[in-house]
Amino acid sequence: GAVVSQHPSRVICKSGTSVKIECRSLDFQATTMFWYRQFPKQSLMLMATSNEGSKATYEQGVEKDKFLINHASLTLSTLTVTSAHPEDSSFYICSARQGDIQYFGAGTRLSVL
């Protein structure tokens, strides 16, 4: 299957700092990427759909000014968690769409102290 790389895999930061997560499709071009969040023992929750060359589409309840998404090329989308707080600690996973299938990055575990 297609390969999606997500970096970093683990971040520990202080409250109030911003954290940037990168998601790359390595062997295909993805006009659409997705950002999910997953809390322990919970299901995946879609945060936003990232569209190359246009604004991201955010799900209800997700603050677009807090979770900044940039999809500047067909192989790269970034998620920046601005002014992170302890309640933002979670597992963030990106995926890239190829046809009807989504291929996932390995996820970023964010811990905000």
Partner 1 sequence: RKEVEQDPGPFNVPEGATVAFNCTYSNSASQSFFWYRQDCRKEPKLLMSVYSSGNEDGRFTAQLNRASQYISLLIRDSKLSDSATYLCVVNAGGAGSYQLTFGKGTKLSVIP
Residue ranges in contact with partner 1 by CB under 8 A: 1, 6, 32, 34, 43-44, 91, 93, 97, 100-107, 109
Q: How far is the CB of 93 from partner 1 (least distance, A)?
A: 5
Closest CA to 47 of 24, 74, 66: 66
Q: How far is the CB of 97 from partner 1 (least distance, A)?
A: 7
* CA dist., res. 11 & res. 20, Å (int): 10
For partner 1, give the closer residue by CB, 16 or 26. Answer: 26
Q: Which is nearer to partner 1, 14 or 60 (CB)?
A: 60
CB atoms within 10 A of CB 21: 22
